[in-house]
Amino acid sequence: MCRACVSSLIAHPSLFAQPGGYAGVARRPNRREFMAVAVAGATAGAAGLPGTGQAQGSAPAAAAPTGAETIFRGGRIVTMAGEAMPEAIAVSGGRITRIGAAADVMPLATRDTRIVNLQGRTLLPGLIDPHNHTALSSLYLELLTDIGYLRNRTRADLMANLRQLAAATPEGQWVLVSNFDNLLQGGDLSRTELDGISTTKPIFVWYTNGHDAAVNSAALTAANIPEDIGTLPGGGHFGRGPDGRLDGRVYEISAMLKIVQVGLPRITPRLATQAVNRYMQAAAATGNTLLHEPGTMKSEWIEAFAQISATAPLRLSASLMYEDMAGFAPYRHLGLGARAAQLPNSLLMLYGVKIVGDGSNQTLTGGQTQPYLNTTATGTPNFNADQMKQMVAAVKAAGLPVLIHCNGDKTIDFALDAIEAAYGNSTATGINRIEHSTMVRQDQIQRMKRLNVEPSFLMNHVTLYGAAYRDQIFGPARAAFTDPAGACAKEGVRFTLHTDSPCSPLGPLRLVQTAVTRICEVDNSVIGADQAVPVRRALEAVTVDAARQLGLADRLGTLEAGKEADFTILEDNPLTVDATRIAAIKVSETWVAGQKKTGGPG
């Protein structure tokens, strides 16, 4: 996982071939063109035309149906709006026009209607990842080879695969790999170990936390890193061994930049577009129909991503970082706040403002009220209580909801104090969220309920790090209450589940399975059995509640007449299969706005 959510290293302007980074992917319209599109989109939205959004502040209304473009029947239709299981669902103009008994839906069929026979499959509302770093993940996976834990479970496998990669890399080129997990893959890598892989080909190994790396001697030489290099601006530095020599460890962005500016190929518009498209296809293949980028999409990229999204296999949503909040200004006329703004002629929506409150529990930098196991370290919030209050107050003054990254309970205290001071318990500007909420306490859950604040859990913490939390980082009692979805369910606090990709693997069904079983796959132990939730509640966390937390409750999350026709079709029913098999259910098809996006010919 990450020290401060996700490193922005891969998005540094110096790594792009053109100024503006992703903004160079698509030509930005001039003011006249942009205003023409905006006015056309607003007019169409007010008229309720499909695919452009409705007039802000109003719920979508289903037009009186005279026929259906597509009708789904012959399987299990799980609406997430109640227990009823309708027999058929009709779609026209990108929206659900009727849902219910086949006898009520089939009269909408005309000779042109496409009838989709589900053949016993299960149709759900489109699955949503409410915290996914799409822009960064795409480049991260495009430019570097994944050698993470899921691909290399042992240190021996890791080293063998690194040797194969090095052997296959031509002389003069770099071996660039990512997602190395020192916690699960045998401890830190050293310069000596990597020199054993190659002394002539530079090697760069990026840790999964995003803020550390390891390199060999050839990489230090190629990047002209002197042995006497000191601390760099921004805290970047190079590790040293007992002998005082550089040991191959590289810390923080300013130090890693000295390496990757030499080793990484320049990111061109073509490469960036290719990377984004591949990543979105991969995400859609796991059942996602919407990804929310929490803070790592820069405001100058919005127009480029709006154009990319128009032909994407899923919807995109974004919040901006606190420091970039002014970047929302050109989109105010589309409406922001409680109801997400949808850019005209696109599948891109804008929501709130992200603040990174602390670091990662895996690196002992999450801000805690109690020390980490067998240490005196408690981590440190990135901002003191007064600073947090000032920042949150500024977000509230802008009429926007706030999303605050908090892994430690001390940081959550600061975040809730700030939200209460600025918003009270109001959700008039949207749902305020605590991202990750890994070590949230019972009393903080009760306080969230009073303040109408909701957590979003990175449930892959449990499946990947549960044993390490128990044995190395927190001890059994504290580890059992990590990502406590069960306690939230008992208190009536709604929550969502996310991957934080690239910090953990894509796939909403994996999140659902872990929320239900609480199994750590490292040793198959159960971490906090009393924090497990029923399957339906876990599914709500990636459908209806994820939509609500993004200002999209009136458009997505449940299957109801008038809502957008976003569907995930599965080969089996997660409500009835063995809970340990949920993640293995095959995703058959995904549909967005009534159009088939994955699963064969449309």
**CA dist., res. 212 & res. 190, Å (int):** 12
Sheet of strand 587-592: strand arrangement: 76-77, 122-125, 567-570, 587-592, 595-598
Instruction: Supply angle C-alpha 243, 246, 247, rounded to 5.
Output: 85
- CB-based contacts of 581: which residues, under 8 Å, 6+ apart? 513, 572
145-146 and 175-180 strand pairing: parallel
pLDDT for position 65: 59
The alpha-carbon radius of gyration of the chain (Å, integer) is: 24
Query: Reduced to 3 states, what is the DSSP secondary structure of residue 41?
Result: helix
**CA dist., res. 457 & res. 173, Å (int):** 40
Instruction: Supply angle C-alpha 371, 376, 380, rounded to 5.
Output: 65
**CA dist., res. 382 & res. 366, Å (int):** 9
- CA nearest to 279, candidates 250, 309, 251: 309
- Please report, to the nearest 10 degrees, the dihedral formed by the alpha carbons of residues 324, 329, 334, 340 taken in order: 20
**CA dist., res. 295 & res. 312, Å (int):** 20
Strands, E assignment, 152-297: 175-180, 203-207, 212-215, 237-240, 246-251, 288-295
How would DSSP label each residue in 472-485? IIS-HHHHTTSS-H
Other C-beta atoms within 10 Å of 271: how many?
18
Total H helices, total E strands in the chain: 18, 26
> For 84-154, where are the alpha helices, taking DSSP H only?
102-105, 134-143
**CA dist., res. 319 & res. 328, Å (int):** 9
Are 126 and 566 in contact by the 8 Å Cβ rule? The answer is yes
- CB-based contacts of 143: which residues, under 8 Å, 6+ apart? 10, 176, 264, 265, 267, 275
Mean of per-residue pLDDT scores for the chain:
90
**CA dist., res. 530 & res. 484, Å (int):** 9
User: Per DSSP, what are the bridge partners of residue 125?
Assistant: 567
**CA dist., res. 119 & res. 109, Å (int):** 19
Tokens read off for 111: 């000779």
**Is the torsion defined by CA of 411, 412, 415, 421 positive or negative?**
negative
Query: Token pair 């760099």 is at which residue?
Result: 232
**CA dist., res. 416 & res. 420, Å (int):** 6
pTM for the whole thing? 0.90
Are 14 and 306 in contact by the 8 Å Cβ rule? The answer is no
- Going from N- to C-terminal start, the domains of the chain cover 135-263
Are 425 and 454 in contact by the 8 Å Cβ rule? The answer is no
User: Per DSSP, what are the bridge partners of residue 213?
Assistant: 206, 250
**CA dist., res. 85 & res. 91, Å (int):** 17
Length of the chain: 602
Regions of the chain where pLDDT drops below 70: 1-8, 24-65, 601-602
DSSP 267: B
The CATH T-level fold of domain 135-263 is Diaminopimelate Epimerase; Chain A, domain 1 (3.10.310)
